[in-house]
Amino acid sequence: MTSASLLLWIVLGITLQIALWLGISFWRHWGEYQALRTGVGSDGGMAVPVKETLPSASEPASVAAWSGFRSFRVDRKEIEDGAQSICSFYLVPEDKQPLPEFKPGQFLTFRLDVPAPDGHTEQITRCYSLSDAPHAGFYRVSIKRVPAPAGSAYPPGRSSNYFHDHVQVGDVLQVRAPGGHFHIDRSDAPVVLIGGGIGITPVLSMLNWCMAEQPGREVWLYYGVRNSNEPIKRSHLEALSATYPNFHLRLCFSDPLPGDQLGRVYHHQGRVDVALFRTELPLKPYHFYICGPTPMMESLVLGLEDWGVPESRIHYEAFGPASIKRSANPTAVEPVVATQSDIVVTFAKSGKQIPWQPGMGSLLDFAEANGVKVESSCRAGSCGCCQTTIKAGEVAYGHAPDFDPEPGSCLLCSCTPKTSVTLEA
Ligand SMILES: Cc1cc2nc3c(=O)[nH]c(=O)nc-3n(C[C@H](O)[C@H](O)[C@H](O)COP(=O)(O)OP(=O)(O)OC[C@H]3O[C@@H](n4cnc5c(N)ncnc54)[C@H](O)[C@@H]3O)c2cc1C
């Protein structure tokens, strides 16, 4: 064999090996790319195996949820932020019986008797997210004081200010069992938790649970606030980030104080947005859990969808009425609006019979616009205040409300008529 042909064989051999290596690499990456695109990796369990976590010894025993309201005593009260506007309340059951386990991200519903301007008391209902992982003996909620809108003559927020100013250690409160569909799954899929302002509460519960139960799980927390006066549990978050290499803390300040040093006090200047995720997050099938002000959630949900994150991996909760029109499935979060003009809504107690006008929003909006007095609070399907008996006809929900209405009744804030209906209101 001549040296020229030997060289030719060597070159041919090397070329074949490179081609083989390239082919295998391409095949592997194509599989991963397809899994990321379709979401099969995390949702279907093919590319990224999803492991169920077994209940651990530190979880509270399995106890059935109570129905109606249960008495809880305030055991501890703690101001959480530099601005003194967020206060945590630790609640223990008056009956000293075990507490049912909740899913991290769920909330409690409180019935309060607050002082009214006329000197009497007024009963109101409000929801507050559980802000810590489940513990055997207590629940914790963290409440932000809501001021009156700037320049308005309205009174400040009734429930939040009542909690801050009147609820003291030893007081007894009426509380409904934990509820809500916004909670983290138990798989080991990587997660991105996003909390804007007081929207940190449910994602803080998710984070604490993950770190306690799934310390190997990859978790990112993007916490958006204005400056160093506002974050709650900052030293706790920093300690978690120093302890768990899989936990990535990102404090984002939109309006830092002169002394707030980037890189030392916070990690990113500006709002939490998808552009930031694109620069920081590796390409993985993350699940996103978002809670914050409506504009933030709107821009994040739509931005994530534009980025190609499947709808099934974007989870969010608003602390009030918010409907985000999702590009992937616009009807998923909006009430189904009946289009037939011959639908009539009868309000039995009020003695009113009114033709339904599509485009008026929910049955609650419709009732109020027509002078029918209905009790309401969150207007988001969470608190159950606007539950009303359906005497005849059918209603339709755009999305399943957090509060399960009793059979034969509906949540006016979350539904529209499907046929002509008679409501006991
Ligand atoms: C599922 C869920 C979880 C939640 N979790 C938390 C949580 O963890 N922490 C938390 O702090 N909050 C949470 N919230 C929000 C909470 O439930 C309350 O909505 C919030 O505390 C405000 O209630 P309020 O009674 O203090 O204010 P409201 O009395 O309801 O007043 C709200 C605002 O309206 C203004 N206002 C008063 N009267 C009028 C009027 N006539 N016209 C216009 N404006 C008026 C008030 O000045 C105030 O700014 C959650 C809500 C939901 C639905």
Interval 143-184: pLDDT, tens: 999 999 999 999 999 999 999 999 999 999 999 999 999 999
Is the separation of the CB atoms in 169 and 87 below 8 Å?
A: no
- CB contact burial 295-327 (16+ within 10 A = b; e otherwise): ebbbebbbebbeeebbeebbbbbbbebbbbebe
Q: For residues 365 and 417, give the distance between their C-alpha atoms in angstroms, rounded to a whole number.
A: 12
Q: Which helix (H) or strand (E) holds 23?
A: helix 3-38
Give residue 74 CA to ligand 1 midpoint distance, Å: 21
Give residue 344 CA to ligand 1 midpoint distance, Å: 32
pLDDT given at position 339: 53
End-to-end CA distance of the chain: 100
Q: Using a pLDDT cut of 90, give the percent of the chain over it.
A: 73
Mean pLDDT of the region 28-43: 40
Which CATH code for domain 191-317? 3.40.50.80
Give residue 162 CA to ligand 1 midpoint distance, Å: 12
Q: Is pLDDT above 80 for 44? A: no
- Closest atom of ligand 1 to 160 CA is 26
Return the best residue to mutate from 289, 319, 383 for the ligand 1 pocket (most ligand atoms within 8 A of CB): 319
pLDDT given at position 3: 73
CA 269, distance to chain mean position in Å, is 24
- Closest atom of ligand 1 to 147 CA is 49
Give the CB-side neighbour count of residue 373, counting CA atoms within 13 A.
2
- Closest atom of ligand 1 to 149 CA is 49
221: confidence class by pLDDT, cuts 50, 70, 90? very high
What secondary structure does DSSP assign to 55-90, as a single string? P-TTSPP--PPPSSEEEEEEEEEEE-STTS-EEEEE
Q: Whose CA is nearest to atom 53 of ligand 1?
A: 319
Indicate if ligand 1 lies below 6 Å from the C-beta of 377: no
Q: For residues 158 and 338, give the distance between their C-alpha atoms in angstroms, rounded to a whole number.
A: 35
Q: Whose CA is nearest to atom 51 of ligand 1?
A: 319
Q: Alpha carbon of 396 to those of 330, 337, 413: distances in Å?
A: 16, 8, 11
pLDDT given at position 323: 58
1: confidence class by pLDDT, cuts 50, 70, 90? low
Q: Is pLDDT above 80 for 68? A: yes
pLDDT given at position 57: 38
Return the best residue to mutate from 127, 152, 182, 414 for the ligand 1 pocket (most ligand atoms within 8 A of CB): 127
Q: Domain spans of the chain?
A: 10-44, 69-179, 191-317, 344-423
Q: Nearest to residue 233, comparing CAs of 332, 335, 144, 142?
A: 142
Q: Which residues pair with 242 in a beta bridge?
A: none
Mean pLDDT of the region 331-343: 54
Q: Is pLDDT above 70 for 20? A: no
Q: Is pLDDT above 50 for 48? A: no
Shared fold status for 69-179 and 191-317: no
363: confidence class by pLDDT, cuts 50, 70, 90? very high
Q: Is pLDDT above 90 for 325? A: no
> Going by DSSP bridges, is the β-strand pair 139-144/219-225 parallel, antiparallel, or unpaired?
unpaired
Fold (CATH) for 344-423 = Ubiquitin-like (UB roll) (3.10.20)
Q: Is pLDDT above 50 for 399? A: yes
Give residue 424 CA to ligand 1 midpoint distance, Å: 27
Both structure tokens of 418: 């499907």
pLDDT given at position 50: 30
Is the separation of the CB atoms in 225 and 322 below 8 Å?
A: no
Q: For residues 352 and 370, give the distance between their C-alpha atoms in angstroms, rounded to a whole number.
A: 9
Both structure tokens of 235: 């030293």
Both structure tokens of 331: 């009807």
Superfamily of domain 69-179: Translation factors (2.40.30.10)
Both structure tokens of 59: 């979880």
